[in-house]
């Protein structure tokens, strides 16, 4: 029975892992849907964010990274989450805070769960691919132009840190 269960779980994970990240959608903070398939062929840096976190200042660096590389094709997607109890109460408050405080104009998802049983399918896919699960806010996942996970970084890694910008530049060169 355990062997059958293990094989079934492996088959489910294999089937789920076969779903390329570009097929994933997020609810947009502006209403509607953000479809990663719209960014097929482009690298996408997905970052779980929060407005009331010690790392919230990274929004400025995310915008700077986006400004630096967007013309070359980089997409930076902010995914606000209250999983660590540090997000504002509504998407409208998050949007206003980010625009007023940091001048953000990058794509932003609505408030989204990134951990546990209610984690967004993107984060389930990343976990199945790499074992990576956000342990706090401002974890970064770089998706390549082919839809695969290139690299992941934790909260302490600045969006402008050399490992991130090197990986972004390499991904852009290959897209």
Catalytic residue, candidates 24, 46, 50, 53: 53
Any catalytic annotation for residue 53? yes
The CA–CA distances, whole Å, from 151 to 37, 147, 148 equal 19, 12, 9
Q: Angle 96-137-173 (CA atoms, 0-180°, nearest 5)?
A: 90
Q: Cβ distance 24 to 36 under 8 Å?
A: yes
Q: Cβ distance 175 to 145 under 8 Å?
A: yes
Distance CA 49, CA 119 (A): 14
Supply the residues annotated as catalytic. 53
């Amino acid at each position: 029975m355990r062997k059958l269960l293990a094989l079934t779980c492996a088959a489910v994970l294999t089937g789920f892992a076969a779903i390329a990240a570009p097929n994933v959608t997020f609810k947009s903070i502006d209403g509607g849907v953000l479809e990663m398939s719209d960014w097929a062929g482009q690298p996408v840096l997905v970052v779980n964010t929060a407005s009331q976190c010690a790392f919230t200042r990274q929004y400025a660096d995310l915008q700077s990274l986006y400004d630096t590389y967007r013309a070359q094709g980089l997409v930076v997607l902010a995914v606000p989450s209250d999983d660590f109890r540090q997000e504002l109460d509504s998407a409208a408050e998050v949007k206003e805070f980010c625009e007023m405080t940091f001048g953000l104009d990058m794509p932003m998802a609505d408030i989204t769960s990134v951990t546990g049983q209610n984690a967004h399918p993107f984060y389930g896919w990343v976990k199945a691919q790499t074992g990576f699960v956000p342990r706090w806010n401002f974890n970064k996942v770089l998706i390549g132009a082919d839809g695969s996970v290139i690299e992941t970084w934790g909260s302490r890694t600045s969006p402008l840190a050399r490992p991130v910008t090197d990986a972004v530049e390499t991904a852009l060169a290959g897209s």
